[in-house]
Structure 1
């Protein structure tokens, strides 16, 4: 069978990391139906991730990681998502945030080194908690309604965060809150299990159910001054875009590849008694298979091309924002097209709850609602064209 990854594995290091991820993908893939059924981030999946030290990959080597490049990150995430996209998307937020902290120096060195040791040696998992009911996606610029009121020893946090991926199994939450003393948005490191920290199981999504993106509720949560890890300053001219967000399109391409492989195997083996051959020889089936591969290749070359530019031309990263956004739109829309074609090949049985394609169909839809949204991407591209 055609290997969609072979054109993009360029070094021995990438091959080694990919083969490890392939093993991990196979393991979580065997539980994908259970993950979807229960709508939980399964303990077994978390254990496997930690056993492979997957949570450490984007840390600097000095802290026990592999100093993962963006190109390597999307390569591995795409393969992991082929097994279970909800697992890949979930751990992708953790790895991406670590990459962001590593590359942008958002935290002071002492705090970053401490969290790095927590992640590698104690296998801790972190994620940002930013989305709120009233503000919607933080990418739209909404100011959080979660409050941080200063007292003599630190801050008191109160608020509710939605879409907190892996909420129950996270060890630390990086929480955005409006600070009363500075009139700015600050980011506070909150530990799971602290007094006043509660998870409300609100996640009832159609797709990506295994991300368990429940609500985080903060009720008079006290954090010391040193847990204010970031706060917003006036926007810098030439601000570097978030390259690590390419983990999102990589995950949805992983779903597309899984659906494509399943449909091709079905077509090669299914022979109705009305035909003298399998349906793989039927013209309209061949056309659909060709369209699937075209859509995947189109998105993959764009994804890996932009990631390669990011890694090898750091001086030009400030100019890559529109390209990064465009990758997400192309990849998620192409992935939806591929899953649709796969289901057309397999036919009505693809709608059965026992079919992986039924799960892929629900999961891949979620990509259309991850940031950045298509309308924002088109506006960004148009603005670049007009202002050139």
Structure 2
């Protein structure tokens, strides 16, 4: 991690801990290429250093880290293993979002924060097969109806990251008899919930993003924690954990390629291949893209943390995700060109890194939405 991005002793202390774990994560990373895999040890390691509760407000016993802090830490975790970073990023990010946008009943939120301090994990379950990404406005087919003393949920959610070890699901559902969409807190222990193992992606297999199936799941009335589309403007800076993850993976690929270029000397040349002009050009291009993407991401994060109305930065937040994800794809492509055909070996991490970062194209917001958003903003600003 370039020191230019580390600004506080607190950041440096946590990064020192994460750097020690990153080496272990890299050693375990090949194991996560198997169907049904999950980085149990990695997540436990992060719990052990208190990482999973860092974004909780100080009044509830957390550290209330900033968005900038969060991205620094997520990028470092992803350098060790992308599946671990993306998985834990959803949990820590959602807790950061809920801290920034207090909308739950305070007693319930305090209870959940207390459980998170003890190691509980949660994730949002919003995507469905027929609606696609929730960012495109599809209405959930998952339904909730109000009983005498409970809410009853039925439906199926896809991409339930960390499905094997979650303690709570945050489920979006259409409320029967109305046009409203609610978000419900569903304990994993609730009768009628089950995980259907559908995750067969070639990228980020270790996230265990299986389907959540709910059949007549009853939860307390107070577990309706939010009504969507209620006119409130929420802050969504926490979603930058997605580009931070992919930049971390590209950093790992860049490191691998540099070590290779410095060590590999075929018998057709007298020096290691890093001395060759074409390899130097590829290294220089990797460095430039990584610097551009990281400076952009951290400058927007700084602006977000200092802003009184951070929701007004949505176009810039989207642009960071677009820039970082596409830069990560390009950087790893160049790393593979440096290493050559052996980068496609099953034993070589580069082919996995390349597959992992391509998954970023399908994380929100999608590229077309970002470009349309920027275009509209540009037109609106024309005087």
Check whether TM > 0.5: yes
2:315 equivalent in structure 1: 322
Indicate the larger mover: 324-333 or 6-15: 6-15
User: 2:175 corresponds to which residue?
Assistant: 179
Match of 2:379 among 371, 374, 386: 386
Asked if residue 269 in structure 1 is aligned to residue 263 in structure 2, the reply is yes
Q: With the length of structure 2 as denominator, give the TM-score of the two structures.
A: 0.97
Q: In the aligned structure 2, how far is the partner of 1:233 from the partner of 1:325?
A: 20
After TM superposition, the runs of 4+ consecutive aligned structure 1 residues lying more than 4 A away are none
User: How many correspondences in the alignment?
Assistant: 381
Q: Residue 234 of structure 1 aligns to a residue in which SS?
A: coil
> Which 5+ residue runs of structure 2 have no aligned equivalent?
none
2:216 partner SS: strand
- Give the structure 1 partner of residue 93 of structure 2: 96
Within 1, Cα distance between the matches of 2:327 and 2:229? 37
Contact 1:150–1:181 under 8 Å retained in 2: no
Retained in 1: the 8 A contact 2:39–2:84?
Answer: no
Is residue 41–residue 169 contact of structure 1 (8 Å, CA) maintained in 2? no
Match of 1:345 in 2: 338
2:208 aligns with: 212
* Deviation (angstroms), 1:48: 1.2
Q: 1:39, 1:211 within 8 Å by CA — same for their partners in 2? A: no
The alpha carbon displacement at 1:190 in A equals 0.8
Distance 1:150 1:240, change over 3 A: closer
Q: RMSD of the alignment, in Å?
A: 1.1
CA displacement 1:167-215 (0-9 Å, x = unmatched): 1210100111111254311111111122100100000001011111000
Q: Report the 3-state secondary structure (helix = DSSP H, G, I; strand = E; otherwise coil) of the residue aligned with 1:31.
A: helix
The answer to whether residue 239 in structure 2 is matched with residue 245 in structure 1 is yes
Matches within 5 A, 1:45-124: 45-121=42-118, 123-124=119-120
Output aligned runs, 1:276-315, within 5 Å. 276-313=270-307, 315=308
Q: Deviation string for 1:237-296 (max 9, x for gaps)? A: xx2441100000000000110000000100000000111100010000000000000000
Q: Is the 8 A contact 1:131 1:138 kept in 2?
A: yes
Distance 1:28 1:66 in 2: 24
Q: Does 1:29 align with 2:26?
A: yes
Most deviating of 13-22 and 67-76: 13-22
TM, length-normalised to structure 1: 0.96
1:12 aligned onto 2:9: yes
**1:233 Cα deviation after fit:** 4.3
Aligned with 1:272: secondary structure?
coil
Alpha-carbon shift at residue 34 of structure 1 (Å): 0.6
Q: Contact 1:199/1:215 (CA < 8 Å) preserved in 2?
A: yes
Separation in 1, partners of 2:69, 2:184? 29
The 3 A distance-change label for structure 1 pair 100 and 259 is: same
Secondary structure of the equivalent of 2:158? strand
